[in-house]
């Protein structure tokens, strides 16, 4: 399976090869940008807001995330509604879309994961996984 087919499988919820070099290179670029967000100073609120706009698929009004933030794709598949707040150590396994509605608050040390791994050992040994979206509504 070539990288294009693998990427299509990744985005459609089918089993795909998670260690594909092209996928991993793209993912690494996203994580590099996220690293910069996590290094920002507490006094750099405007800078953080701009960075979230660049990192995430959508950021609503008054959205804020306390660093550190971890995300497999640096937030590229995450949509935040208006008045979103996340406390320290949010982990988003955003291999598929994660969306939050308006007025959502996330406590410290929360993980939201879209990735799943096969139960059969012979499939797990091939580094196969699948992804399904997570949608959290308003309030």
Give tens-digit pLDDT for 58-115: 999 999 999 999 999 999 999 999 999 999 999 999 999 999 999 999 999 999 999 9
**What is the pTM assigned to this prediction?**
0.92
Where in the sequence numbering do the catalytic residues fall? 117
Compute the mean pLDDT over every residue in the chain, rounded to the nearest whole number: 95
Strand partners, 70: 91
Give the whole-angstrom CA distance, residue 120 versus residue 130.
Answer: 13
Structure confidence at residue 20 (pLDDT): 86
Structure confidence at residue 7 (pLDDT): 86
Burial class (CB in 10 A: 0-12, 13-18, 19+), 51: buried
Give the residue ranges of DSSP H helices in 1-139: 3-12, 21-38, 45-55, 121-124
In the chain, what are the domains? Answer: 3-136 (2.160.10.10)
Strand partners, 24: none
Q: Sheet holding 111-113: strands in order across?
A: 69-71, 90-93, 111-113
Confidence of residue 38 (pLDDT cuts 50, 70, 90): very high
User: Quick check: 88 and 124 in contact, CB under 8 A?
Assistant: no
Looking at residues 115-119, what average pLDDT do you find? 94
């Amino acid at each position: 399976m070539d990288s294009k087919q693998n990427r299509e499988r990744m985005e459609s919820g089918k089993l795909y090869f998670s260690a594909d070099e092209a996928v991993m290179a793209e993912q690494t670029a996203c994580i590099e940008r996220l690293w910069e967000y996590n290094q920002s100073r507490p006094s750099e609120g405007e800078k953080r807001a701009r960075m979230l706009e660049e990192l995430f698929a959508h950021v609503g009004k008054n959205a804020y995330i306390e660093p550190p933030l971890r995300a497999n794709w640096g937030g590229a598949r995450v949509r935040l509604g208006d008045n979103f707040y996340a406390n320290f150590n949010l982990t988003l396994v955003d291999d598929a879309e994660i969306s939050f509605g308006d007025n959502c608050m996330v406590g410290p040390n929360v993980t939201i994961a879209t990735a799943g791994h096969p139960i059969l050992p012979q499939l797990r040994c091939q580094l196969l996984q699948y992804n399904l979206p997570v949608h959290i509504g308003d309030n």
